[in-house]
Structure 1
Amino acid sequence: MGYQSDPEKSGLILPFSSAVKFHGHICPGLAIGYYASHIGMRWLHSHIGDDSEVMVMVENAGCAVDAVQVITGRTIGNGNLIVYDYGKQVYTFMIKGTGKGLRISLRPEYTLERIDPEIAALWEKTSAGEAKAGETVDLPRRVERICRAILETSGDVVFDIREVAIDFPGREPGAGNVICARCGEPVSSDKARKTIDGYYCQPCSQRN
């Protein structure tokens, strides 16, 4: 199966501008998540007519997650979007109960550092308030060029795309609350640390 460029012309998903509006600004991470979602949804539509049994797993907790939520309709709260903060541009789409999935991972040549080796330093200078006027103006232009380079290139060039056998974990049943022995605030029992002195929420358990 080929993966065309220009995902906005597929007619299957919302335009990139919808993801930008939701996220608040344009950035390469958002473009990557958007394009991966486009490819994943195309694959899913070719296998099923109803996407109610779809789950998505993302291996980073960055800007891309916003694009995935907007384009796929999967959310963390509903339990059909699973986010692992591994710092990897990897996206897996699965049809529940089939063991079938599509794994989409960014190729090394399409990392930010490869497309524009100087932008990371410019971003850092801008964030620190050290960029010159010309550099501040140039940054959004370079960001847009990077996004275009990603979105206007064939998907199988930007990503390694392959079908995989995978079983997503089921959503854990809701846990009851316990009271943190230090701060006195309620905390889900499955997230609390149990000690001989009682339960502690994670922030309190990390304090001396």
Structure 2
Amino acid sequence: MSDYDILFNKAKKFHGHICPGIVLGTRLTIAGLRELGMNPNEPTHNLIVYMEIDRCGTDAVQAITGCSLGHRSLKHKDFGKFAATFVDTTTGKAVRVSILERNRAEHDKLNPKEVIKVLSEVPEDEILKIEHVRITIPKEDLPGFPVGKATCSNCGEQISDNRQIVVNGEVLCRNCAGESYYTVTGRT
């Protein structure tokens, strides 16, 4: 069994089924790790990955690298692009790998099994764009214990990693400062 097959099966098991996103996420991860000189079959404790989409391929990246939100080694930047930036925190070296959509119209004509086969076999340079990039990771975003803690003067909830906002001298969480993604409809 090839390295690709082993890693693809790991991603498939984590995700729960086979789909084009798992194929592309596997290929994207293999390329990103290779460019950083990392072995995808070994734990990567000095890796942070920024995902630009929250779809199937993200599960492949998480399954293969072991990076996760809980470990603060997987970051989500909601740009809506099937792309990931892999950062070696030891060397500072970073590479962004994105999916090229050149043949998307042709792939859309195929049935799902055919698409998966084509995407797994097509030459890498036909589906991936690899760019060496520079990225500065704020200390608040690094794995480890929280950097700075505050308490929101409005709701009383704790805010970690300097995510508070000061408005007219008051420390507020982003929700109370008007950046909330939810509306409270009741309390129990």
Aligned match of 2:124: 155
How far apart are the structure 1 equivalents of 2:153 and 2:174?
9
Identity of aligned residues (%): 28
Aligned match of 2:64: 71
Displacement of 1:176 after TM fit? 0.9
How far apart are the structure 1 equivalents of 2:85 and 2:103?
18
Cα deviations across residues 37-60 of structure 1 (Å, max 9, x unaligned)? 12222333479x984333323222
* Cα distance change of structure 1 residues 9 and 62 upon mapping to structure 2, 3 Å threshold: same
Cα deviations across residues 117-155 of structure 1 (Å, max 9, x unaligned)? 6x9xxxxxxxxxxxxxxxxxxxxxx33332222112121
Aligned match of 1:190: 162
Give the superposed CA RMSD.
3.4
How many equivalent residue pairs? 173
Residues 55, 94 of structure 1: 8 Å contact kept: yes
* Cα distance change of structure 1 residues 195 and 100 upon mapping to structure 2, 3 Å threshold: closer
- The residue type paired with residue 147 of structure 2 is G
Displacement of 1:64 after TM fit? 1.6
Aligned match of 1:166: 134
* Cα distance change of structure 1 residues 84 and 189 upon mapping to structure 2, 3 Å threshold: closer
- The residue type paired with residue 116 of structure 1 is D
Residues 88, 94 of structure 2: 8 Å contact kept: yes
How far apart are the structure 2 equivalents of 1:194 and 1:107?
42
Aligned match of 2:91: 98
Counterpart among 22, 29, 48 of residue 21 in structure 2: 29
Q: Unaligned stretches of 5+ in structure 2?
A: 141-145, 184-188
The TM-score, its normalising length taken from structure 1, stands at: 0.65
Q: Unaligned stretches of 5+ in structure 1?
A: 1-7, 120-141
Displacement of 1:169 after TM fit? 0.9
How far apart are the structure 2 equivalents of 1:53 and 1:146?
34
Greater helix proportion: 1
Aligned match of 2:148: 175
Aligned match of 2:46: 53
